[in-house]
């Protein structure tokens, strides 16, 4: 009954590969986000979706393509992975009009 769930938890892959991370929330929220946390724990917003529509794309390379098939899902596809993509990626959600974010447990991506 996890509120925001991400899969996989760990992802180890070679440079140049394409990979996807999935996120689902069962809270009935209509806004979802992807954040990237680097090795120094700095969290940076990547994308924001509201009702399946892209609201924010924060200067993320176009190798990163989010997809929201419905309000409960926001997936992240990454093409041609690079070493610098290694980080922990967090999905989060919230209900429009409320300030509190609910986070998934993160996907640790390691690009070798």
Q: Site residues (CB under 8 A) for another protein?
A: 4, 31, 33, 35, 40-43, 45, 48, 55-56, 90, 92, 94, 96, 99-106
- Tell me if residue 84 falls in helix, strand or coil: helix
Query: Do residues 101 and 48 lie in contact, with contact meaning Cβ atoms separated by under 8 Å?
Result: no
Whole-number minimum distance, CB 78 to another protein, in Å?
Answer: 19
Nearer of residues 15 and 101 to another protein, judged by Cβ: 101
Nearer of residues 14 and 100 to another protein, judged by Cβ: 100
Could you please report the per-residue DSSP string of 27-42? S--SEEEEEEE-TT--
């Amino acid at each position: 009954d996890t509120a925001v769930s991400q899969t996989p938890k760990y992802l180890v892959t070679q440079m140049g590969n394409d990979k996807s991370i999935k996120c689902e929330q069962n809270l009935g929220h209509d806004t979802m986000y992807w954040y990237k946390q680097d090795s120094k724990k700095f969290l940076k917003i990547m994308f924001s979706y509201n009702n399946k529509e892209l609201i924010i794309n924060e200067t993320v390379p176009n190798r990163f393509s989010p997809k929201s098939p419905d309000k409960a899902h926001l997936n992240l596809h990454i093409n041609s992975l690079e070493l610098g993509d290694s980080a922990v990626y967090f999905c989060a959600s919230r209900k429009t009009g409320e300030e509190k974010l609910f986070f998934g447990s993160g996907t640790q991506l390691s690009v070798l």
